[in-house]
């Protein structure tokens, strides 16, 4: 271990070199890179949204499948409404308008905390769902790997965690390639598929669609249709990302962000409708082992050739990128919440990346737990995903309505109407999701959101209490105080004598303490003290129970009760081994003494490092 110290080394290793403030400007996003960085979450959800619709409908038999088309068009319409609603947020909050900030600004503390709780949960699920779906893309292409999907998913979480710990700054350039690769492959697939349909050259994958083996055919009910619709709304997840990231754009920030959001919406709707319609033309049947996109790619491309594998690779890559967006969003929101004292201050960004590291590690652990608990199954995770997303959508749009009403600027009525439409529509979706998905696991989220809010408020109450205790109000100095310095010694060693040398600089009242367990040893120490004690008094403490600690603590107690207003300082030598594992060879007695005296007022325990050379 060099003298540079543990901290710097550790930090550099884990989080990379620090970045000076004036560099940040250079890394602003253009529309094209902005689309790549901020829309992977929204675009990637088309990889599983169609499948989630079909899985529900197929239970009611082949005829029900045709309902996928109207459902997809309703979802596309809602997506358009949401995007127009969010474009107004972009212009109103050029410094970034996440649901928490908008709610806090316009609706008050409680809605803001509900939005924050929903968003944090949403980010964890973004990681879990996107990685599970990305792994499904792989295992569709390589069915042998299906048994290892949990391990694969955990591997991706680990890669994302380490990558983000080492620096998320580089991500702008990394994102562009796979995002555009995915867009290109999807449009190619859809284009080819549509061309074949128009040319009448479709070879259906299944002769007729049957419900999964073993399940009894359900009748087509309203509830079933609403469930299918809820599932399809996953296509909307992630659309808010652009509005959070406005300040990351090149100037004019709001204009560029709004244009990017429009592009994203057009692409998202095109792909979702395309895949949903083609899936019906090609008679794609949802399966536990192969994704709908993979089946569709096989159907359109005829076989598992190079293009097929390219589609799967592109799907996998964009889904991993989508997971990665949560790695930027989660620590950012946690940092904002920490600044407002709703989460522990360890998450607050204070100049270096350490705070973000806490968020990154926390996010990874939570996502890994979800992946293991749900066996890496996208379908099982989806019901949990939607509640958080639509709570934050609804609150964010509702907040905008309040804002327009309050500001009453030019044209505020039409602006308010757009956001009100967005709020009402997403609120209805939220209700539908809550009703159709509660029994599939969404109840967990309905429980977790209030629990999170409770935690936020408890944290805030704690910090408020601390702030009160830290206030200088009413404080006055107790005047000059004495400091009695006690040095417990176990014998006459160089470490002990050096601690005494240090103690002598602290006070004129320094006393060495020795616990008498063995009379012979005590006599020897008393004799050597004459040579090495430097004229300081040596106090010998008796120990009827052969304990070293109790007599020391008792003596400290006596000294402080004699002068309760004065300080008592206990100075201890502390071995600093040359190699960290040498700690195993030495007692942590200093730690025990410190622990025993931690709650004693006006008592300070100081360790004087003694550096072992080997």
**3-state SS track over 237-274:** CCCCHHHHCHHHECCCHHHHHHHHHHHHHHHHHHHHHH
- CA–CA dist 361, 331 (Å, integer): 10
How many angstroms separate the most distant Cα atoms in the chain?
107
Nearest-angstrom CA–CA distance, 382 and 366:
16
Residue among 144 and 530 whose Cβ is closer to a copy of itself: 530
H/E segment holding residue 202: none
Task: Give least dist CB 130 to a copy of itself, A.
Answer: 29
Looking at the Cβ atoms of 233 and 605, the one nearer to a copy of itself is 605
Distance CA 255, CA 245 (A): 12
- 567-576 and 509-516 strand pairing: unpaired
**Least separation in angstroms between CB 480 and a copy of itself:** 8
Compute the least distance from the CB of residue 506 to a copy of itself, in Å. Answer: 5
Q: What are the C-alpha distances in Å from 278 to residues 77, 118, 489? A: 19, 34, 82
Alpha helices in 471-514 (DSSP H): 494-504
For a copy of itself, which is the closer residue by CB, 351 or 411? 351
Q: Which is nearer to a copy of itself, 173 or 481 (CB)?
A: 481
Reduced to 3 states (helix: H, G, I; strand: E, B; else coil), residue 369 is helix
Contact 259, 31 (CB under 8 A): yes
Smallest gap from residue 486 Cβ to a copy of itself (A): 14
Could you tell me the smallest distance in angstroms from the CB atom of residue 14 to a copy of itself? 13
Residue 449: both structure tokens together: 């959101």
Q: Would you call 610 helix, strand, or coil by DSSP?
A: strand
The closest alpha carbon to 378, from 314, 386, 264, 62, belongs to 386
Residue 192 makes CB contacts below 8 A (sequence gap 6+) with: 300, 301
3-state class of 609 per DSSP? strand
CB 223 → a copy of itself: shortest distance, Å? Answer: 43
Let me know if 299 is exposed, middle or buried by CB neighbors in 10 A (0-12, 13-18, 19+): buried
**For residues 375 and 458, which CB has a smaller minimum distance to a copy of itself in the complex?**
458
To a copy of itself, the closest distance from the beta carbon of 330 in angstroms equals 18
Dump the DSSP string for 502-563: HHHTT-SEEEEEEEESSHHHHHHHHHHHHHHSTT--EEEEE-TT--SHHHHHHHHHHHHHHS
What does the DSSP assignment read for 293-348? HHHHHHHHHSSS-HHHHHHHHHHHHHHHHHHHHHHHHHHHHHHHHHHTTSS-GGGS
Give which of 563, 503, 370 is closest to 448, Cα–Cα. 370
Closer to a copy of itself by CB, 268 or 495: give it.
Answer: 495
Least gap, CB of 507 to a copy of itself (angstroms)? 7
With respect to a copy of itself, which residue has the nearer C-beta, 323 or 343? Answer: 343
Q: Which is nearer to a copy of itself, 270 or 607 (CB)?
A: 607
Q: Which is nearer to a copy of itself, 8 or 289 (CB)?
A: 8
Closest distance of CB 298 from a copy of itself, Å = 45
Q: Give helix 149-166 / helix 6-15 axis angle, nearest 10°.
A: 120
CA distance 300 to 307: 10
Tell me the closest approach of the beta carbon of residue 312 to a copy of itself, in angstroms: 40
Supply 134's token pair: 């990305």
Shortest Cβ distance from residue 614 to a copy of itself (Å)? 6
Cα angle 140, 274, 34 (rounded to 5 degrees) comes to 85
- Which one, of 225, 165, 141, lies nearest residue 11 by Cα? 165
Concatenated DSSP letters of 115-150: HHHHHHHHHHHHHHHHHHHHHHHHHHHSGGGGGGHH
In whole angstroms, how close is the CB of 328 to a copy of itself at the nearest point? 19
Closer to a copy of itself at the Cβ: 80 or 506?
506
- Least gap, CB of 124 to a copy of itself (angstroms): 19
């Amino acid at each position: 271990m060099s003298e540079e110290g543990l901290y710097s080394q550790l930090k550099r290793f884990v989080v990379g070199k620090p970045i000076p403030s004036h560099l940040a400007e250079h890394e602003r996003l253009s529309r094209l890179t902005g689309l790549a960085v901020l829309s992977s979450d929204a675009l990637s959800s088309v990889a599983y949204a169609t499948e989630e619709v079909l899985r529900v409908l197929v239970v009611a038999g082949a005829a029900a499948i045709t309902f996928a088309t109207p459902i997809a068009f309703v979802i596309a319409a809602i997506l358009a409404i949401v995007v127009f609603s969010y474009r107004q947020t972009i212009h109103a909050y050029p410094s970034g308008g996440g649901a928490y900030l908008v709610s806090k600004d316009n609706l008050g503390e409680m809605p803001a905390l509900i939005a924050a709780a929903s968003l944090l949960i949403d980010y964890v699920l973004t990681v879990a769902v996107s990685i599970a779906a990305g792994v499904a893309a792989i295992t569709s292409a390589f069915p042998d790997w299906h048994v290892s999907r949990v391990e694969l998913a955990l591997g991706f979480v680990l890669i994302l965690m380490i990558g983000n710990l080492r620096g998320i700054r580089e991500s702008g350039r990394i994102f562009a390639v796979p995002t555009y690769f995915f867009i290109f492959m999807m449009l190619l697939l859809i284009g080819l598929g549509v061309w074949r349909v128009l040319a009448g050259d479709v070879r259906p994958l299944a002769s007729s669609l049957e419900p999964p083996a073993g399940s009894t055919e359900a009748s087509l009910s309203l509830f079933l249709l609403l469930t299918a619709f809820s599932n399809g709304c996953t296509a909307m997840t992630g659309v808010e990302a652009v509005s959070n990231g406005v300040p990351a754009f090149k100037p004019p920030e709001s204009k560029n962000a709004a244009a990017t959001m429009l592009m994203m919406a057009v692409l998202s709707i095109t792909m979702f409708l395309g895949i949903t319609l083609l899936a019906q033309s090609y008679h794609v049947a949802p399966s536990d082992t192969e994704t709908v996109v993979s089946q569709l790619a096989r159907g359109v491309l005829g076989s598992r050739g190079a293009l097929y594998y390219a589609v799967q690779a592109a799907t996998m890559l964009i889904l991993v990128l989508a997971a990665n967006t949560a790695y930027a969003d989660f620590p950012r929101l946690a940092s904002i919440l920490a600044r407002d004292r709703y989460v522990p201050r360890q998450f607050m960004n204070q100049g270096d990346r350490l705070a973000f590291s806490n968020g990154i590690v926390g996010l990874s652990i939570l996502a890994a737990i979800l992946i293991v608990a749900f066996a890496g199954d996208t379908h099982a995770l989806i019901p949990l995903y939607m509640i958080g997303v639509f709570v934050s959508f609804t609150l964010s749009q509702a907040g905008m309505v309040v804002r327009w009403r309050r500001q009453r600027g030019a044209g505020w009525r039409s602006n308010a109407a757009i956001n009100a439409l967005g709020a009402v529509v997403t609120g209805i979706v939220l209700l539908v999701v809550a009703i159709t998905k509660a029994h599939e696991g969404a109840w967990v989220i309905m429980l977790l959101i209030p629990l999170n809010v409770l935690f936020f408020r408890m944290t805030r109450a704690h910090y408020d209490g601390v702030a009160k205790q830290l206030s200088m109000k009413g404080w006055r100095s107790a005047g000059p105080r004495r400091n009695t310095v006690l040095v417990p010694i176990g014998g006459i060693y160089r470490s002990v004598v050096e601690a005494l040398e240090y103690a002598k600089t602290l006070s004129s009242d320094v006393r060495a303490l020795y616990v008498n367990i063995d009379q012979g040893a005590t006599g020897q120490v008393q004799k050597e003290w004459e040579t090495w004690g430097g004229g300081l008094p040596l106090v010998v403490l008796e120990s009827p129970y052969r304990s070293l600690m109790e007599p020391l603590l008792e003596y400290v107690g006596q000294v402080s009760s004699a002068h309760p207003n004065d300080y008592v300082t206990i100075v201890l030598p502390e071995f600093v081994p040359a190699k960290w594992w040498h700690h195993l060879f030495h007692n942590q007695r200093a730690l025990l003494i410190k622990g025993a005296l931690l709650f004693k007022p006006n008592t300070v325990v100081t360790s004087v490092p003694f550096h072992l050379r080997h």
